[in-house]
Amino acid sequence: MLRPWLACGVVVPGVLLLAGACGGSSSGGPSASGPLDEDAGGGVQAGPAGLPCDVAGVLAEHCQSCHASTPQFGAPMPLVTWDDLNAPSRADPMKKVYELAIERVADERRRMPPSPNAPLSDAEQKTVADWTAAGAPRSTDQCGDPTDKPPPEGLSCTPDLSLAPESAWEMPEAAGDEYVCWGVDLSKEQATHVTAFAPVIDNTEITHHIVLYEAPSAYSRVPTRCSAGSAIAWRMVLGWAPGVGPLELPPEAGFPISTDPARPTHYVAQMHYSNPTGKKGAKDKSRIDLCTSAPRQHEADVMAFGSQSFEIPAAPPAGGRYTIDCALTVPAAFAGLHFFAAMPHMHQIGVAMSTKLTPAAGGPDVDLGTMPSFSFDSQAWLPVSATTKTGDVIRTSCSWTNNTGAPVRFGEKTGDEMCYSFSMYYPRIKSSLWSWAAPASGPPVGATCN
Ligand code: HEC
C-alpha cells in the first residue's frame, strides 16, 4: 500500500524556496523579549564596546544568547563589552571573566557554551585564546556583526537554540546563482521538540532562498558550495523565501531532536545565493533561530504536492495563462495525516496556485493552501487544516504567464519554474523510502497532471 507514495531512490531535485509565517498557536514559551531580542544586539556594538571584531563575533554567535546585556537562562553575567570581560569572575574573583572564559570553552566537563550548543571550533578558540594571551587589549575596532540580528517579529515563544554556520559565506563577484550548504548537529539530554523556526536573514541582497533539511549524517558547519538538489534521504523541514516570517507549529506538533549525543539530529541549511549585480565582497551569515519545548503529542514533517515535470509553452494559450492541474488519490497507508500549514511555491512567472482536498465521502472541498495571485517576492506559510481519508483526492493547480519568449520547464534555477505546495503535517511518515517530494514526483508514485 505504501508503494504509490514512495520515491524511487533517485536524487530528487531540491526545492529552492520556501518558508514563512503561518498561523498556529504558540509553543507556550514566555513572550516578548528573549535572549535574542534587542539585548543580544550587544555584539553589534563590538567596536564601541572595545572588543576586536573577531572576538566580538565569537561571543555574539556562541555566548550572547545567554550572556546578553541582560543575562538569560541562568548565565551569571553579560559577555558583551570589554568591561564585561574585564570584570572579576563571580565564581573565582581572583580571575577576570576573560581568563575564566578561555578555560571554560575548553573545559570538557563544564564546557561553554553548554551542550547541545556546538563547542567553539579550533579557529574560534584560537581567536579568543590569542586575545587573552595578549592581555585582552581594548580595541577601537568598528564592526557590525550579522549574528546579532534579532529574530523577526511575530514569534510568541523565545528562541533558545540557533542554527548558524561557522563563518560567513563570501559571494564570488562573478557568480549568478550559487548553492551553499552548512550543517549543525543537535542533541538534547531531555526529549525535545522544535516548536518554531525563525529565519534571521543577514544579507537580503544576495540571500534568495533557504531550505532546511534533516540529513542522515553530519554536514560541515563551514559554508561550502553544494548541489541545488537534495539527496533523497534528506527530509525537508522548512524553507525561507522573500516575504516570509517565523513559523510556529500548533501546540500538538513539533520536530523531534535526538537525545543521543552519539547520533544527533543533523540539520543542513541549503542557501541559494544570487549576485546578479556582481557586488564585490558580499557576505552572508543568515541563521535560523529555534524555539524548543518538551515533546508534543505528534512529530511533524513536510511533503510537497504539485509536479516536477511540466513545460510551460512559449506561446501562451488564449487568456495568457498556462495552467496544470495535478490530482493524487490518498492511499489507505496515508489516511489520517493532519495538514496544518502550506507554502505554495513557484518562481518568477507564477501567477496563481492552489491545493484542495476533495473528500471521498462527499462534501465541500477543503483548502490546502491557495494563493489566488501569487508573487515570488511575498511568499508565506498559510494556516490550513485538513485530515486525509482513504480515497480523498488532493488537487494542485499552478498557473503561469510565460512572458519569456521561450518554453520554461521545472528546475532549480531562478529562471526555471516550480509547482510545489510545501505542506506541513503530522504524524510524520517514518518509512526510510519516503521522500518529501514523492507526492509531486509524477506517476506511478505521485500525482497525475494535465
Ligand atoms: C545556553 C546558555 C549559555 C551559553 C550559550 C553560554 N553560557 Fe556561559 N554560562 C551559562 C550559565 C547558566 C552559567 C552559570 C553556570 C556555570 O558556571 O556553569 C555560565 C557561566 C559561565 C562562566 C563562569 C562565570 C563565572 O564568573 O563563574 C563563564 C566564564 C562563561 N559562562 C563563559 C561563556 C562563554 C565564553 C560562552 C560562549 C563561548 C558561554 N559562556 C556561552 C550559560 C551559557
List pLDDT tens digits, range 260-282.
Answer: 989 999 999 999 898 877 888 88
| Ligand 1, pocket-test mutation among 51, 108, 112, 184, most atoms within 8 A of CB | 112
214: left (phi over 0), alpha (psi -120 to 50) or beta: beta
Residue bearing the bigger pLDDT, 334 or 387: 387
Q: What is the pLDDT of residue 289?
A: 93
How far is the centre of ligand 1, averaged over its atoms, from the C-alpha of 71 (Å)?
10
CATH topology for 151-296?
Jelly Rolls (2.60.120)
Query: What ligand 1 atom has the least distance to the C-alpha of 74?
Result: 12
Average pLDDT over residues 329-340: 93
| Ligand 1, pocket-test mutation among 51, 58, 67, most atoms within 8 A of CB | 67
Q: Which of 15, 16, 14, 26 is nearest to 247 (CA)?
A: 26
Q: Dig out the grid coordinates for 329 from the structure.
A: 488519490
Residue nearest to atom 4 of ligand 1 (CA): 113
| Ligand 1, pocket-test mutation among 54, 61, 62, 63, most atoms within 8 A of CB | 63
Q: What is the pLDDT of residue 110?
A: 92
In whole angstroms, what is the distance from residue 37 CA to residue 145 CA?
15
How far is the centre of ligand 1, averaged over its atoms, from the C-alpha of 112 (Å)?
5
Residue nearest to atom 31 of ligand 1 (CA): 112
Residue bearing the bigger pLDDT, 134 or 19: 134
Average pLDDT over residues 241-251: 86
Q: What is the pLDDT of residue 239?
A: 84
Instruction: Reply yes or no on whether the pLDDT at 37 is more than 70.
Output: no
Instruction: Reply yes or no on whether the pLDDT at 444 is more than 60.
Output: yes
Average pLDDT over residues 150-157: 77
**Contact between 409 and 324 (Cβ < 8 Å):** no
Q: Which tens digits make up the pLDDT trace of 73-115?
A: 788 999 999 999 999 999 889 999 999 999 999 998 999 998 8
Q: What is the pLDDT of residue 263?
A: 93
Average pLDDT over residues 63-70: 84
Using CB distances shorter than 6 Å, the residues near ligand 1 are: 62-63, 65-67, 73-76, 79, 89-91, 97, 100-101, 104-105, 110, 112-114, 117, 120
What angle do helix axes 122-133 and 53-62 make, rounded to 10 degrees?
130
Query: What ligand 1 atom has the least distance to the C-alpha of 113?
Result: 41
The H or E element spanning position 59 is helix 53-62
* Lowest mean per-residue pLDDT among 49-53, 94-98, 221-225, 320-324: 49-53
Residue type, 343: M
- 110-186-299 Cα angle (round to 5): 135
Residue type, 167: S
Tell me the pLDDT band of 39, cut-offs 50, 70 and 90.
very low
Instruction: Reply yes or no on whether the pLDDT at 49 is more than 90.
Output: no
CATH number of the structural domain 3-12+300-449: 2.60.120.230
Residue bearing the bigger pLDDT, 145 or 304: 304
Q: What is the pLDDT of residue 430?
A: 86
Q: Which of 225, 190, 194, 406 is nearest to 289 (CA)?
A: 194
How far is the centre of ligand 1, averaged over its atoms, from the C-alpha of 55 (Å)?
16
Q: Strand ranges (DSSP E) for 58-191? A: 161-163, 169-170, 177-186
Residue nearest to atom 37 of ligand 1 (CA): 63
Tell me the pLDDT band of 17, cut-offs 50, 70 and 90.
very low
| Number of helices (H), then strands (E), in the chain | 4, 24
Q: Which tens digits make up the pLDDT trace of 297-325?
A: 999 999 999 999 999 998 766 668 999 99
| Ligand 1, pocket-test mutation among 55, 66, 77, 108, most atoms within 8 A of CB | 66
Q: Where in the chain is the domain with CATH 2.60.120.230?
A: 3-12+300-449
Distances in Å between the alpha carbon of 354 and those of 243, 405, 419, 441? 18, 25, 10, 18
Residue nearest to atom 29 of ligand 1 (CA): 101
Q: Which tens digits make up the pLDDT trace of 162-210?
A: 999 988 999 988 777 889 999 999 998 899 999 999 999 998 888 888 9
Residue nearest to atom 35 of ligand 1 (CA): 101
Q: What is the pLDDT of residue 271?
A: 95
Q: What percentage of the chain has pLDDT greater than the value 90? A: 53
**Contact between 152 and 198 (Cβ < 8 Å):** yes
Model's pTM, two decimal places?
A: 0.62
Residue nearest to atom 21 of ligand 1 (CA): 75
Q: What is the pLDDT of residue 43?
A: 29
Q: What is the pLDDT of residue 48?
A: 55
Residue nearest to atom 20 of ligand 1 (CA): 75
Q: Which tens digits make up the pLDDT trace of 110-134?
A: 999 988 778 899 999 999 999 999 9
Instruction: Reply yes or no on whether the pLDDT at 143 is more than 90.
Output: no
Instruction: Reply yes or no on whether the pLDDT at 38 is more than 70.
Output: no
Query: What ligand 1 atom has the least distance to the C-alpha of 90?
Result: 26
Instruction: Reply yes or no on whether the pLDDT at 11 is more than 60.
Output: no
Q: What is the pLDDT of residue 15?
A: 31
Residue nearest to atom 19 of ligand 1 (CA): 75
Residue nearest to atom 40 of ligand 1 (CA): 112
Residue nearest to atom 22 of ligand 1 (CA): 101
154: left (phi over 0), alpha (psi -120 to 50) or beta: left
How far is the centre of ligand 1, averaged over its atoms, from the C-alpha of 100 (Å)?
10
Residue nearest to atom 30 of ligand 1 (CA): 101
Mean pLDDT of the chain: 83
In whole angstroms, what is the distance from residue 355 CA to residue 258 CA?
33
Instruction: Reply yes or no on whether the pLDDT at 42 is more than 60.
Output: no
Q: What is the pLDDT of residue 205?
A: 83
